[in-house]
Amino acid sequence: MSERSAAEAALYQLAKDTVRVTDDDLGRVVAGEPLDDSGPRVDVSFPADGAEDLL
C-alpha cells in the first residue's frame, strides 16, 4: 500500500462516523450548552441497508 493510500485509509477511519445533530441540538450549542454526542454514530459513506439518507 502506498503512503498516500495508507494516509487516505487512516483519514477515512477517523472521519467515517459522524454524530447526527438535530435542530434542537444546534439550538443548545448556540445557547452555549454542551452537546450530548453519546448517541449512535452514522456512517455517511456506507450507510446500513434501509438507513435514512442524511446527505
pLDDT one digit per residue (tens) for the chain, 55 residues: 788 888 888 877 776 667 677 788 878 888 888 877 776 677 777 777 887 766 6
Q: Is residue 54 part of a domain?
A: no
- On the 0-12 / 13-18 / 19+ scale of CB atoms within 10 A, 15 is exposed
Number of domains in the chain: 1
Structural domain span for residue 30? 3-43
Element (H, E) at 29: helix 23-30
53 occurs within a structural domain = no
Estimate to the nearest angstrom the gap between the alpha carbon of 13 and the chain centroid: 11
Question: How far apart are the C-alpha atoms of 24 and 30, rounded to whole Å?
Answer: 10
CA-closest candidate to residue 27, choices 35, 19, 39: 35
